[in-house]
């Protein structure tokens, strides 16, 4: 997917005027947010589990190469294949070659953010393969030719009406000519169409929530069961996963599973939690004949060695975006690439470049809600600040901002000038704003006053009030 993060401001403005998107975003608070709160408070061990997950994942990252090698060895010893890709382009080439060598023409996809990151569908289609997304949300987006706007609810921005139109148009080819308008009928229609795709597919590509070194397994969690059909029915199963998905033992999987669904949807566990290990055994009743895992780096090994290492703990639950006031106002597409919200604002600049996505880390109020809910306690606001520092240091910020900040910093470090200046301006502003109690317009502050009033100050600064109190005047 071609990044459009450069257009972040314009895309945000557009999103805020999009009525149906705003309606969908308003539901986050009563949906995901409330569900997470309820399920977290129903589990007394929840906070302790978060600590444990953070500490364990830090230990794992400190020996990531060993765990990757142990995992690779175990997969191979059970007849599976492990491939390594430095970036999305290499991943696409590898997957394409696997499908080509296996003479697979029809490919079905389970939901995977790595697939989005690498632009896998487009690459496979241009290589002549027939690719079909099977997660309902991803299927809808494939029909509407859009990227996901949320990592676990990719089509959250689509209305039922829009989906009715999409299905009506696309399903004519399957002999389904009536336009359906009820959710149940739409789901039933997608089930019918995709069931055929499942049964006819040659290869199934899924992601992985975790890779387990001890057993050489990959875990996927779903509610629809599409991932299971994708990795059971076709004769080739391909797993695309990032190197930071590897964990040492089955016990680590159960630890993280207790946090994942609760943080994502408020479920204790998803309908399906599935471990796939190698190809089918010789006598098995069903299962794929070939099992491939493609491990992708795409900037992660670099993050491991710099100030962004903690981001590699991320288990992709989406809680940070569900709780982010910025995401809640602009939705996922405004971020311009595949990962939105706080985790996206940290990852996107690292994966597509700070020059392309430098605006993302700036769109944060540092309210800290994301960090409060992150199941593995990633200090997201701190990482966003680290991007701002990088942006400033590599002179990517505008000169107005740079000189403005430099001027402010100089002023703030010179209290002899700073205090009198502030005292005077607060007094002046208090007098000027006395009548309305707020300003509708202010020079150099139209970015604020265009959309809301600026409250008038009371007349003295905090520091002068404090000094008075210290002297015992008040």
Partner 1 sequence: MSDARSAILEQVARAVGRKNPVTQINENQGKQVAPKPQHIRPKWSEPDVERFVQKLKNVQATVETVISDTEIPAAVQRFLDNHNLPAKISVSPDPRLANLIWPDLVRVTSWQARREAVVGIAPAEAGVVETGSVLLVSGQTGPTSLNFLSENHIAIVHREQLVAHMEDVWELLRLRNEDLPRTVNFITGPSKTADIEQKIEYGAHGPKRFHVILVDGKKN
* Residue 310 near residue 348 (C-beta atoms within 8 A): no
Segment near partner 1 (CB under 8 A); pick from 60-68, 118-126, 322-330, 393-401? 60-68
- For helices 415-432 and 399-412, the axis angle rounded to 10 degrees is 110
Q: Which residues pair with 220 in a beta bridge?
A: 274
Relative to beta strand 106-109, strand 81-85 is unpaired
Asked if 390 is part of the footprint of partner 1 (rule: CB under 8 A), the reply reads no
Asked if 176 is part of the footprint of partner 1 (rule: CB under 8 A), the reply reads no
Min CB(27)–partner 1 separation in Å:
5
In sequence order, the 6+-apart residues with CB closer than 8 A to the CB of 357 are 3, 5, 6, 8, 336, 337, 345, 348, 349
User: What is the number of residues in the chain?
Assistant: 474
List strands edge to edge, sheet with 236-242: 81-85, 290-296, 236-242, 203-206, 106-109, 130-133
Min CB(216)–partner 1 separation in Å:
8
Q: From the list 3, 287, 368, 379, which residue makes contact with partner 1 (rule: CB under 8 A)? A: 287
Closer CB to partner 1, residue 257 or residue 320? 257
- List the interface residues with partner 1, window 425-454 (CB under 8 A): none
Closer CB to partner 1, residue 5 or residue 274? 274
Q: From the list 10, 13, 66, 366, which residue makes contact with partner 1 (rule: CB under 8 A)? A: 66
Closer CB to partner 1, residue 304 or residue 422? 304
In sequence order, the 6+-apart residues with CB closer than 8 A to the CB of 9 are 359
- List the interface residues with partner 1, window 346-365 (CB under 8 A): none
Alpha-helical segments (H) within 102-146: 113-118, 120-126, 136-144
Identify the burial level of 127 via C-beta atoms within 10 angstroms of its C-beta, where 0-12 means exposed, 13-18 middle and 19 or more buried: middle
* Residue 364 near residue 342 (C-beta atoms within 8 A): yes
Q: From the list 67, 323, 377, 390, which residue makes contact with partner 1 (rule: CB under 8 A)? A: 67
- List the interface residues with partner 1, window 115-174 (CB under 8 A): 134-137, 140, 153-156, 158-160, 163
In sequence order, the 6+-apart residues with CB closer than 8 A to the CB of 269 are 221, 257, 261
Closer CB to partner 1, residue 70 or residue 430? 70
Closer CB to partner 1, residue 234 or residue 358? 234
Min CB(382)–partner 1 separation in Å:
19
Asked if 85 is part of the footprint of partner 1 (rule: CB under 8 A), the reply reads yes
Q: Which two tokens stand for residue 172?
A: 């004519």
Min CB(227)–partner 1 separation in Å:
9
DSSP 274-336: EEEESS--TT-SS--SEEEEEEE-TTHHHHHTSTTGGGGG-----HHHHT-TTHHHHTTGGG-
Asked if 38 is part of the footprint of partner 1 (rule: CB under 8 A), the reply reads no
Q: From the list 254, 365, 458, 463, which residue makes contact with partner 1 (rule: CB under 8 A)? A: 254
Segment near partner 1 (CB under 8 A); pick from 44-52, 385-393, 424-432, 443-451? 44-52
Min CB(98)–partner 1 separation in Å:
11
C-alpha to C-alpha distance for 150 and 138, rounded to whole angstroms: 11
Q: From the list 103, 122, 179, 271, which residue makes contact with partner 1 (rule: CB under 8 A)? A: 271
Find the distance separating the first CA and the last CA of the chain, reported in whole Å: 62
- List the interface residues with partner 1, window 210-229 (CB under 8 A): 213-217, 223-226, 228-229
E strand residue ranges, 112-216: 130-133, 203-206, 210-212
How many CB atoms are located within 10 Å of the residue 135 CB? 25
Q: From the list 118, 304, 319, 363, which residue makes contact with partner 1 (rule: CB under 8 A)? A: 304
Segment near partner 1 (CB under 8 A); pick from 125-133, 203-211, 283-291, 390-398? 283-291
Asked if 29 is part of the footprint of partner 1 (rule: CB under 8 A), the reply reads no
Asked if 183 is part of the footprint of partner 1 (rule: CB under 8 A), the reply reads yes
Q: From the list 45, 393, 450, 470, which residue makes contact with partner 1 (rule: CB under 8 A)? A: 45
Segment near partner 1 (CB under 8 A); pick from 57-65, 378-386, 405-413, 456-464? 57-65
Asked if 295 is part of the footprint of partner 1 (rule: CB under 8 A), the reply reads yes
Min CB(401)–partner 1 separation in Å:
32
Min CB(16)–partner 1 separation in Å:
20
Min CB(87)–partner 1 separation in Å:
9
Closest CA to 447 of 7, 13, 2, 11: 13
C-alpha to C-alpha distance for 278 and 154, rounded to whole angstroms: 29
Min CB(15)–partner 1 separation in Å:
18
In sequence order, the 6+-apart residues with CB closer than 8 A to the CB of 453 are 436, 438, 439, 440
């Amino acid at each position: 997917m071609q990044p459009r993060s450069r257009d972040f401001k314009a895309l945000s403005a557009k999103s805020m005027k999009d009525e149906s998107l705003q309606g969908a975003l308003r539901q986050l608070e009563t949906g995901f947010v409330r569900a997470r709160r309820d399920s977290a408070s129903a589990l007394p061990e929840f906070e302790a589990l978060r600590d444990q997950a953070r500490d364990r994942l830090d230990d794992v990252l400190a020996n990531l190469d060993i765990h990757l090698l142990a995992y690779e060895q175990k997969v191979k010893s059970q007849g599976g294949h492990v491939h390594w890709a430095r970036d999305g382009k290499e991943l696409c080439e590898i997957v394409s070659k696997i499908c080509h060598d296996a003479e697979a023409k029809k490919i079905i996809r389970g939901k995977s953010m790595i697939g989005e990151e690498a632009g896998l569908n487009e690459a496979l289609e241009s290589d002549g393969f027939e690719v079909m997304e099977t997660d309902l949300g991803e299927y809808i987006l494939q029909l509407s030719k859009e990227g996901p706007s949320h990592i676990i609810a990719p089509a959250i921005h689509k209305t039922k009406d829009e989906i009715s139109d999409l299905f009506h148009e696309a399903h004519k080819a399957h002999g389904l000519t009536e336009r359906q308008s009820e959710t149940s009928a739409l789901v039933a229609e997608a089930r019918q169409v995709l069931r055929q795709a499942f049964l006819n597919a040659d290869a199934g590509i899924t992601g992985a929530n975790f890779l387990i070194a001890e057993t050489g397994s990959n875990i996927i969690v779903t509610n629809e069961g599409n991932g299971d059909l994708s990795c059971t029915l076709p004769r080739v199963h391909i797993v695309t996963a990032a190197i930071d998905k590897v964990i040492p033992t089955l016990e680590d999987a159960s630890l993280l599973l207790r946090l994942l669904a609760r943080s994502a949807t408020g479920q204790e566990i998803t309908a399906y939690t599935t471990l796939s290990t190698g190809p089918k055994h010789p006598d098995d009743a069903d299962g794929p004949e070939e099992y491939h895992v493609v491990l992708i780096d795409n900037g992660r090994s670099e993050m491991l060695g710099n100030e962004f290492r903690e981001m590699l703990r991320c288990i992709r639950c989406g809680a940070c975006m569900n709780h982010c006031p910025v995401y809640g106002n602009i939705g996922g597409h405004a971020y311009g690439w595949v990962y939105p919200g706080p985790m996206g604002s940290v990852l996107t600049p690292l994966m597509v470049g700070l020059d392309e996505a430098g605006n993302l880390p700036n769109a944060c109020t540092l309210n800290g809600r994301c960090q409060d809910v992150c199941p593995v306690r990633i200090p997201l606001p701190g990482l966003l600040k680290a991007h701002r520092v990088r942006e400033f240091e590599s002179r990517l910020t505008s000169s107005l901002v740079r000189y403005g900040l430099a001027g402010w910093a100089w002023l703030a470090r010179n209290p002899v000038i700073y205090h009198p200046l502030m005292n005077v301006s607060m007094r002046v502003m208090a007098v000027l704003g006395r009548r309305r109690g707020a300003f509708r317009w202010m020079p150099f502050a139209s970015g604020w006053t265009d959309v809301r009033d600026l409250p008038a100050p009371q007349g003295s600064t905090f520091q002068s009030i404090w000094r008075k109190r210290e002297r015992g005047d008040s």
